[in-house]
Amino acid sequence: MIPELSKLFKNKQPSAIRLAQIEFTKRYDNVKVIDVAIGNVSLPMHPLMIKRFREINEYSSPFKEGIVKYTTTVGLAETNRAFLNIIGSSDLDTSKLYSQITDGASAAMELVILGVGGEPGKKEKPILLIDASYTNYKSLAKRVGRYTISTTRQLGNDGKFTLPDLNEIERKIIENKPSALIVIPYDNPTGHFYTHEVMISLAKLCVKHNLWFISDEAYRELFYLNEKTSSIWGINEEEVPGISGRRISLESSSKVWNACGLRIGALVTDNYEFHKKAVAEYTANLCSSAIGQYVFGALAHASKEELNQWYSQQREYYQNLMEKTTAELKRELPELIVSSPDSSIYSVVDIRNIDPNFNSKDFVLYCSREGKVMLNGEDTTLLIAPMDEFYHVEENEKNPGNTQMRIAYVAMPEEMEKVPILFSTLLKKYLVSKER
Q: Which amino acid is at 242?
A: G
Q: Is the dihedral of CA 255, 278, 276, 272 positive or negative?
A: positive
**Cα–Cα distance list, 176 to 123, 171, 344 (Å):** 9, 9, 30
- Containing 265, the helix (H) or strand (E) segment is strand 265-269
**Cα–Cα distance list, 352 to 155, 213, 355, 419 (Å):** 11, 34, 5, 20
Domain segments of the chain as ranges: 7-44+307-435, 48-304
Most confident option among 6-20, 122-136, 384-398, 407-421: 407-421
Average pLDDT over residues 248-269: 97
Q: Residue ranges of the alpha helices (H) in 159-289? A: 166-176, 196-208, 272-282
The set of residues, in sequence order, having a beta carbon less than 8 Å from that of 304 and lying 6+ positions away, is 88, 89
Give the architecture-level CATH label for domain 48-304.
Answer: 3-Layer(aba) Sandwich (3.40)
The set of residues, in sequence order, having a beta carbon less than 8 Å from that of 159 and lying 6+ positions away, is 326, 337, 338, 339, 340
CA dihedral 311→254→249→293, nearest 10 degrees, is -110
- Asked which of 80-89, 139-148, 278-287 is least confident by mean pLDDT, the reply is 139-148
d(CA 308, CA 298): 16
7-44+307-435 matches 48-304 in fold = no
* Burial environment of residue 62 by CB neighbours within 10 A (0 to 12, 13 to 18, 19 or more): middle
Residue 279, pLDDT above cutoff 80: yes
Q: Which of 304, 303, 218 shows the shortest CA–CA distance to 268?
A: 218
d(CA 113, CA 278): 11
Backbone angles phi, psi at 304, to 5 degrees: -60, -40
Q: What angle separates helix 304-332 from helix 419-435, to the nearest 10 degrees?
A: 40
Q: What angle do CA 167, 172, 174 make, to 5 degrees?
A: 90
- Containing 428, the helix (H) or strand (E) segment is helix 419-435
Q: What pLDDT digit, counting tens, does each position of 309-342 carry? A: 999 999 999 999 999 999 999 999 999 999 999 9
**Cα–Cα distance list, 227 to 290, 301, 324, 342 (Å):** 37, 28, 21, 10
Residue 436, pLDDT above cutoff 80: no
Q: Which amino acid is at 359?
A: N
Q: How confident is the model at residue 124 (pLDDT cuts 50, 70, 90)?
A: confident
* Burial environment of residue 209 by CB neighbours within 10 A (0 to 12, 13 to 18, 19 or more): middle
Using only C-alpha atoms, the chain has a radius of gyration, in whole angstroms, of 22
Q: So what's the pLDDT on residue 328?
A: 97
Q: Which of 425, 384, 409, 410 shows the shortest CA–CA distance to 24?
A: 384
The CATH homologous superfamily to which domain 7-44+307-435 belongs is Aspartate Aminotransferase, domain 1 (3.90.1150.10)
Q: So what's the pLDDT on residue 173?
A: 97
* Burial environment of residue 53 by CB neighbours within 10 A (0 to 12, 13 to 18, 19 or more): middle
Q: So what's the pLDDT on residue 71?
A: 98
> What is the DSSP secondary structure assignment for residue 4, as one 8-state letter?
P
Q: So what's the pLDDT on residue 60?
A: 86
Q: Residue ranges of the alpha helices (H) in 357-396? A: 360-369
d(CA 374, CA 413): 19
Contact between residue 93 and residue 238 where contact means Cβ atoms under 8 Å apart: no
Q: So what's the pLDDT on residue 2?
A: 87
Q: How many CB atoms lie within 10 A of CB 411?
A: 23
- Containing 405, the helix (H) or strand (E) segment is strand 404-408
Contact between residue 403 and residue 356 where contact means Cβ atoms under 8 Å apart: yes
- Asked which of 38-52, 53-67, 419-433 is least confident by mean pLDDT, the reply is 53-67
Residue 200, pLDDT above cutoff 80: yes
Query: What percentage of residues in the chain have a pLDDT greater than 70?
Result: 100
Residue 50, pLDDT above cutoff 90: yes
**Cα–Cα distance list, 436 to 16, 275, 366, 430 (Å):** 27, 58, 15, 10
Q: Taking all residues of the chain, what is their mean pLDDT, rounded to a whole number?
A: 95
Residue 37, pLDDT above cutoff 80: yes
Query: What percentage of residues in the chain have a pLDDT greater than 90?
Result: 89
Q: How confident is the model at residue 228 (pLDDT cuts 50, 70, 90)?
A: very high
Contact between residue 109 and residue 139 where contact means Cβ atoms under 8 Å apart: no
Q: So what's the pLDDT on residue 123?
A: 84
